[in-house]
Amino acid sequence: MGKVLIAYYSRRGENYVNGSIKNLTLGNTEVVAGKIKALLPEADVFQIDTTYEYSKDYMTCIEEAKQELRDKARPEVKNALASIDQYETIILGYPNWWGTMPMVCYTFLESYDFTGKTIIPFCTNEGSGMGSSVRFIKKLCPGANVTDGTSIHGAEAPNADREALEIANLAKN
């Protein structure tokens, strides 16, 4: 197994969970990324984040995210990695925002050359699955081997041990 990077974007605080707004200490995607890291202790972890903060109010945040999608925005990645050259496999986690990844994930993918690398996406969501995110990852990273991706119901993130194991096993192969 080559060197693995677990890169993820996650939202803490107010989130939509099983039909209501809840305040989460750790975002759902972050919870799953932690489970994967526990299974792959040698993997490096990078939290994808923007240089600015979205609104703490969930409803306002999703409107901000919708506007970014409409504008095809490319938010700057906070503390971006200098390189991903040393990684053979990238496990990419994100919530489903408006049928795809948060726009900062697009920035992350466009910032590096993924040719010859394997990208294993996973997405937390409240019922919308992977949306069109895998199609966009393949488009943004044409030289990469992109797996089908794993959809995880956000409310089930604390119990997503089976999904985390499947993702970790893909990274080991």
What is the tens place of the pLDDT at every residue in 114-129? 999 999 999 999 989 9
User: Would you state the pLDDT for residue 30?
Assistant: 98
> What is the CATH code for 4-172?
3.40.50.360
Per-residue confidence (pLDDT) for residue 16, from 0 to 100: 87
Q: For residues 50 and 105, is the Cβ–Cβ distance under 8 A?
A: no
Nearest to 133 by CA among 79, 96, 88: 96
Share of the chain above pLDDT 70, in %: 99
Q: Which residue matches tokens 């690398």? A: 117
Q: Dihedral of the CA atoms 163, 75, 54, 134 (nearest 10)?
A: -20
Instruction: Give pLDDT, residue 173.
Output: 81
Half-sphere exposure of 69 (CA within 13 A, CB side): 16
What is the chain's mean pLDDT, rounded? 96
**Token code pair at residue 15:** 């989130």
The pLDDT value recorded for residue 29 is 98
Domain ranges of the chain: 4-172
Nearest to 123, CA basis, from 78, 166, 73, 157: 157
In Å, the largest CA–CA distance within the chain is: 42
pLDDT digits 0-9 by tens, 73-111? 999 999 999 999 999 999 999 999 999 999 999 999 999
Q: What is the pLDDT of residue 1?
A: 59
pLDDT at 2 over 90: no
Residue 27: closest CA among 155, 150, 137: 155
Residue 31 pLDDT greater than 70, yes or no:
yes
